[in-house]
Chain A
């Protein structure tokens, strides 16, 4: 977030030690402007305690730890306890979906109109409550997980493989989709991630593949796999390829029933059933296919595996995915030469995400953009709360969820499969800037509900955003502000106004 990052050796640790009690042993160490900017880019926003951790490990070890998540580090106990107390942390998705489905069906059967309406509303509320829990867990991890890069990549892949929670019963699935399908693979192999999303009921519902069957072709998912998830639009596949992949995907769907479907004897070994996921041979088109020039014999779910192998190894996929990762971390228009190198790493390592990121992070091109990427609303919000409260764990993420929705980047709330845009221009329009300043004021002028636990009659804990903190004064953030910013801050009439101005400053908009 600073303008000039040249000056090395800003004394940080002494001040941090004084505030966080991190120990005098590190008092002699210092963090360079470059390293602080790197930390700010690769995490969900710089904090004094993250800087101490970075300093203790050194840049190289710290980065390797981040690329190798999960690390041995732990979240603060207060954050762990909040996650553990969420009902979704204690029930499986299948259980949840089946229970809510039964509630919905029971509601629909009520003969009395008013009772039916009330029961259907209760069902909707129960669904939304589950999704809110998933969002709370996601935000707590963004704020406090030591595996910050993994959390950033979890958001990235959720967006890459976007589903919209308000379609059908996806609200009951979204937490599991993030937690089980995406997070464990966020830094792993792309092929494995692709398959995990394909086998997840949230994706199959969202892109209608649960309706795709022999004789009732629905090509929605097939098209988006190629256009958005793997190769990218205009990379050479044809309408015919879309249709062939749709045929390959027939029978890949969702079944809430624990029982296997009735099948002819020869089909029984071809059934795949795992939780809510089902490949139903009865619904599959067993004809042969030609997909992207490869012949695929009609054989059942194995065709899907073959198609995913082909897609994951397409050079276009390496290029498309590399471009998107570079744009996410660097901002608009990543240099072609860098994308080329990333794509080569992706191909050499059979789609290893961490290795591809290592190529990105160790590049000179990446370094040159530090402090210059415009924050999208989620980076803006999370970084502001991290900066304001550091390791003082918030007790309620609901205000953050509302801010994100107000800035049109609500979690799990992008309607179309392309996901949220990463381009700065998508987030910096006049109306958007005005809204962002409103949010800056809310975060800057009080604890804004972040310390009021989400339980009836819970007492609000006292808290106030600490923006003039160790990073600001002692790590030299104040030195890097433009004269116009300093001048405006100097005119603030209260700590609230000062905070609002700081969070509204051009410097805080960038990472």
Chain B
């Protein structure tokens, strides 16, 4: 077990953290934070729906979700006077909203990146750098955050190490959806580590064996449970539940990505493709909350982000094309949620960006940086290391 990991477990045992509380030593890292990246640009306007906007209903003749109506199961779930939630999230995210554990921030995104390119804008966000200088592809913002914290236990729940975590020390990555019994035994693993001891890849190799063993241990507990007749979840829910268990015990700074949001064609409305995708996401996140358990959840945050929103009007194929502003989610057991937060504007044609999509009124760095500042008690200087030049915005969520 690495030094980092021992520190974390030690801290957890002796320094339980009160979210929203007043007493803490900065920067504290007991809070568990998971960033969920929806790759492909999810159609935010049909998930957190501007139900108070007539223009929305004019713009989406076949794709719109009906205004909240208790008699209609396909209608939006009311959030406030202006906004509603996609009905596929009724049993998963909506209960969190009702208990003040979910908040939504519309008009968020990479304000200075108008490329409308998935790959470019995903990179922009994961790097979290100023767009004025040359990009450094070896410096992601969660990697820089790791460097500012005392005793972080970072992990990427992805099959490839994402940009967001590149640049600093070796950060473990593991695709938790596909875990098998390791075939390389302890003896061979030791010899392999010897071969890499003087190599740049040495730390990655050591970290790889360690995370492999931890994840297998955690998953084999679940397999025993499944063999006793427990229902096995599938897909993202399976992964998210495993992530929840790992973040309950071993890790406190996680990243996961979920693909499949690039809905140019036949995306569906209350039912259909996008509804299925968002339903699976909701079940996964609710499963994560469930596995991490009520105590740890009080000290946990999930931030859901995406590279951009989509065209506000539906296209010619009952889908939507690449847009700009998105809606980010913040979930947490002790947040002051149940609110649509951040700067907003009326959803009317005149307020569209380039007569096409949502404007960005809150920069992603301001939102995420603002959360980091509150959660970890980062100083202005420290935050500037994570998001150079960004002005953090405090949305009063934590």
- Name A residues whose Cβ lies closer than 8 Å to a Cβ of B: 208, 211, 213, 215-220, 223, 227-228, 233-234, 239, 406, 408, 415-416, 418, 421, 423, 425-434, 437-438, 440-442, 482, 484-485, 487-488, 491-492, 497, 500-501, 504-506, 509
Contacts and interface: CB of A to CB of B under 8 A. Distances in A.
16 contacts: A213-B316, A218-B321, A220-B321, A223-B117, A429-B160, A429-B171, A429-B172, A430-B161, A431-B156, A431-B208, A432-B208, A434-B212, A485-B195, A491-B191, A492-B191, A500-B184
A433 B171 contact: no
Contact of A217 (B194, B207, B208, B315): B315
Given A406-B178, A432-B159, A233 B119 contact: yes
Contacts of B192: 437, 488, 501, 504
A431 B191 contact: no
Contact of A428 (B156, B184, B201): B201
Contacts of A418: 118-119
Interface residues of B, number: 57
Contact of B204 (A428, A482, A501): A428
B170 A430 contact: yes
Given A233-B115, A430-B173, A487 B194 contact: yes
A495 B21 CA distance: 60
Contacts of A219: 315, 321
Contact of A484 (B117, B172, B194, B265): B194
A431 B316 contact: no
B347 to A, nearest CB: 21
Interface in B304-362: 315-317, 319, 321-322, 354
B201 A433 contact: yes
A429 B173 contact: yes
Q: Which one of B116, B160, B175, B199 has the highest number of Cβ atoms from chain A below 10 Å of its Cβ? A: B160
A416 B209 CA distance: 30
Contacts of B191: 488, 491-492, 497, 501
Lowest 6 A-B CB distances belong to which pairs? Answer: A216-B316, A429-B161, A430-B208, A434-B208, A430-B207, A431-B174
A501 B265 contact: no
Interface of chain B, helix or strand or loop or mixed?
Answer: loop
Interface of B: 39-40, 114-120, 137-138, 156, 159-161, 166, 170-175, 178, 182-184, 188-189, 191-192, 194-199, 201, 204-209, 211-212, 259-260, 262, 264-265, 315-317, 319, 321-322, 354
Contact of A218 (B138, B183, B211, B316): B316
Nearest to A227: B117
A180 B337 CA distance: 56
Contacts of B184: 434, 437-438, 440-441, 500
B161 A426 contact: yes
A498 B232 CA distance: 39
A491 B117 CA distance: 51
Contacts of A430: 161, 170-174, 204-208, 211
Given A425-B166, A428-B201, A430-B171, A211 B265 contact: yes
B205 A484 contact: no
B315 A218 contact: yes
